[in-house]
Amino acid sequence: MIVRGMFNTPNWGWQSPFEEMEAMRRRIDHLNRLFTGDSSTARAGAGVFPLINVTEDKDNYYVRAELPGLQADALEISITGNSLSLSGNREIAGEAAEAKYHRREREGGKFSRVIELPEHVDSDRASAKMKNGVLTITMPKAESAKPRQIQVK
Amino acid sequence: MARFFETGFPFEPGFWFEGADFPTLDVSEGRKKITVKAEIPGMDKDDLEVNVKGNLLTIRGEKAEDREEEHEDFFHRERRYGSFHRAVALPAEVDPDDVSASYKRGVLKVTLKKQKESSPHKIRVRAA
HSE-up of B68 (CA within 13 Å, CB side)? 16
Q: Which residues of A touch B105 (CB under 8 A)?
A: 68-71, 130, 132-133
In angstroms, what is the C-alpha Rg of chain B?
Answer: 18
Q: Along the 128 residues of chain B, how does pLDDT read in single tens digits? A: 344 444 444 444 444 444 457 899 999 999 899 999 999 999 989 999 999 998 899 999 998 888 888 889 998 899 988 999 999 999 999 999 999 999 999 999 999 999 887 666 788 899 87
B87: β partners: B58
Tell me how far apart the alpha carbons of residues A102 and B35 are, in angstroms, rounded to a whole number: 10
Task: Say which of A53, A105, A115 has its CB closest to residue B74.
Answer: A53
pLDDT recorded at residue A136: 95
Give the pLDDT of residue A93: 80
Model confidence band, residue A12 (pLDDT cutoffs 50, 70, 90): very low
Residues in chain A within 8 Å Cβ distance of B94: none
Contacts of A25 in chain B (CB under 8 A): none
Among the listed residues A10, A72, A124, the one whose alpha carbon sits nearest the alpha carbon of residue B20: A10
The shortest CB-CB distance from B107 to any of A56, A68, A105 is to A68
Q: What is the pTM of this model?
A: 0.70
Whether A132 and B103 lie within 8 Å, measured CB to CB: yes
Residue A75 CA to residue A86 CA, distance in Å, equals 7
| pLDDT band (50, 70, 90) for residue A52 | very high
A122 lies within 8 A of chain B by CB? no
Nearest 10 degrees: CA dihedral of B56, B62, B68, B71? 160
| ipTM tops 0.85 | no
What pairs with residue A56 in β-bridges?
A: A61, B73
Q: What share of chain A is helix, strand, coil (3-state, %, to 5)?
A: 20, 35, 45
- Within an 8 Å CB–CB cutoff, is residue A51 touching chain B? yes
Integer Cα distance of A11 and A19 in angstroms: 9
Minimum-distance CB partner of A53 among B21, B76, B106: B76
d(CA A88, CA A148): 37
Q: Are the beta carbons of A77 and A137 closer than 8 angstroms? A: yes
Closest CA to A104 of B7, B38, B100: B38
| Distances from the Cα of A65 to the Cα of A53, B43, B59, B66, angstroms | 7, 13, 23, 12
B24 touches chain A (CB under 8 A): yes
- On whether any CB of chain B is under 8 Å from the CB of A133, the answer is yes
DSSP per-residue codes, A49-118: SS-EEEEE-SSEEEEEEE-TT--GGGEEEEEETTEEEEEEEE------TT-EEEEE----EEEEEEEE-S
Q: How many CB atoms lie within 10 A of CB B9?
A: 9
Q: Is the pLDDT of residue A85 over 90?
A: yes
Better-predicted residue by pLDDT, B3 or A118:
A118
Contact A68/B78, CB-based, under 8 Å? no
Put simply, the answer to whether B68 touches A6 (Cβ < 8 Å) is no
- Residue A148: the pLDDT is 74
A58: contact with B, CB 8 A cutoff: no
> In this structure, how many other beta carbons lie within 10 angstroms of the beta carbon of residue A146?
11
Q: Which of A53, A99, A104 sits opposite B30 (nearest CB)?
A: A99
Position B115: which residue type? Answer: Q
> What does the DSSP 8-state code read for residue A14?
G
